[in-house]
Amino acid sequence: MGIIKAINLAFEYIRRDEEGNVEGILRAVDGVNLDIEQGDFIAILGHNGSGKSTLAKHFNALLHPTEGSVWVEGKDTADAASVWDIRQTAGMVFQNPDNQIIGQVVEEDVGFGPENLSVPTEQIWERVEESLKAVGMYKFRKHSPNKLSGGQKQRVSIAGVIAMHPRCIILDEPTAMLDPNGRKEVIRAVRALNQAEGITVILITHYMEEVVYADKVYVMDDGKVVMQGEPRTIFSQVEELRRLRLDVPQVTELAYELKKSGLPLPDGILTIDELVEELKKLKCSGTGVDYVIDS
C-alpha cells in the first residue's frame, strides 16, 4: 500500500436554507480510487469546480469522506485520534502566500510548525535552517516576509511545511498568483524536494507546463478521475483534454498541429528538446518534404 490511498471516496457538500432544510446536495468527489506511492511526483489536473481541491483536502484530514475512506500511511483519516499524525505526514500549501504566513521574521514563521509539535528548541533551529536551505531562502531568514516577492513568500510557506518533516506535501495551485519567475522558483524548489529528499509531491495546477515532470497525472472531471497515466500518455490526448476544459503545453500543441498537417511525429512530445530532435531527424532523412502538402 502506498503513502496515500483513497478507496471509493465520495464527498458531498450539503447546502441548507435559513431554516436548515436541505436545498441541494453537490457531490464534489464521486467514487475516487487512488494509490500514491511514497516518493512519487503526482499532478492533479481538472477545470475549476472539477473537485480537485476537495479531493486534496482529504489527504490531510481537512475534510472527511461522506462515503469510502482515505488512508495516509495506513491511518484512516476518519479516525479523530490520527488527525495530528496525518497532518504531520501530509503537509499542505495553498494558493495565496499572504494567507499562510504569520511570522514577523522569515525564520520565526518557518519555526512555527515544529514549535507546535513540541520539537526541542535546538532542533527547531536545525529544522528551520535545513528547510530554508532546501527552498533556497536561507539568506532571507532574518527578513520580514512582507517584503518578499510572491514566489519567495510561497517558498517560505513550503519551508514552513517541510520543517514539520512531512513525508508528503500537497500543493493546491501554489503558482496561480505568481509571475513567471516566481512560478519557476517554486516548481524548481518542489522538484528538488521530491528528488533530493524523496518527499512525495501532490501538485494541483492549471499550468500544463508544470506537469511535464510528474511521474503520474490524474485528470478530474465532475468529481471523478477520468484520466490517469504518465504525462506523455495524458498529453497525447489533446482533443479529450480540451473537452475537459484543459489544455496541453504549447510545444505539445505545436507538435500535434504539425502532425495533423502531415509530419510523421510521435504523440505526446513534451519538451522543446524532444520536438527539435524529432524535427532534425525529419530534416536529415528528408522525409518531411514528402508529407508537406502545399497550403
**Contacts to other proteins by CB under 8 A:** 46-49, 95, 149-151, 173, 176-182, 206, 208-209, 242, 245-247, 249-251, 253-254, 257-258, 261, 263, 272, 275-276, 279-280, 282-283, 286, 288-289, 292, 294-295
Q: How far is the CB of 247 from other proteins (least distance, A)?
A: 4
69 vs 95, which CB is nearer to other proteins? 95
Cell readout for 223 is: 468529481
Q: How far is the CB of 285 from other proteins (least distance, A)?
A: 11
22 vs 196, which CB is nearer to other proteins? 22
Q: How far is the CB of 70 from other proteins (least distance, A)?
A: 25
231 vs 249, which CB is nearer to other proteins? 249
Rounded to whole angstroms, the Cα distance separating 104 from 145 reads: 7
Q: Say if CB 225 and CB 32 are below 8 A apart.
A: yes
Q: Provide CB contacts within 8 A for 235, sequence distance 6+.
A: 208, 241, 248, 249, 252, 268, 270
62 vs 176, which CB is nearer to other proteins? 176
Rounded to whole angstroms, the Cα distance separating 110 from 160 reads: 4
Q: How far is the CB of 9 from other proteins (least distance, A)?
A: 22
Q: How far is the CB of 93 from other proteins (least distance, A)?
A: 15
| Strand pairing category for 67-72 and 4-16 | antiparallel
Grid cell 516576509 is found at 145
User: 201: which DSSP letter?
Assistant: E
Q: How far is the CB of 280 from other proteins (least distance, A)?
A: 6
Residue 2 identity (one-letter amino acid): G
24 vs 120, which CB is nearer to other proteins? 24
SS3 of residue 9 by DSSP: strand
Q: Which contiguous run of DSSP H or E holds residue 116?
A: helix 106-116
21 vs 118, which CB is nearer to other proteins? 21
158 vs 246, which CB is nearer to other proteins? 246
Residue 16 identity (one-letter amino acid): R
Q: To the nearest 10°, the Cα dihedral for 213, 217, 220, 225?
A: -170
Q: How far is the CB of 18 from other proteins (least distance, A)?
A: 14
SS3 of residue 250 by DSSP: helix
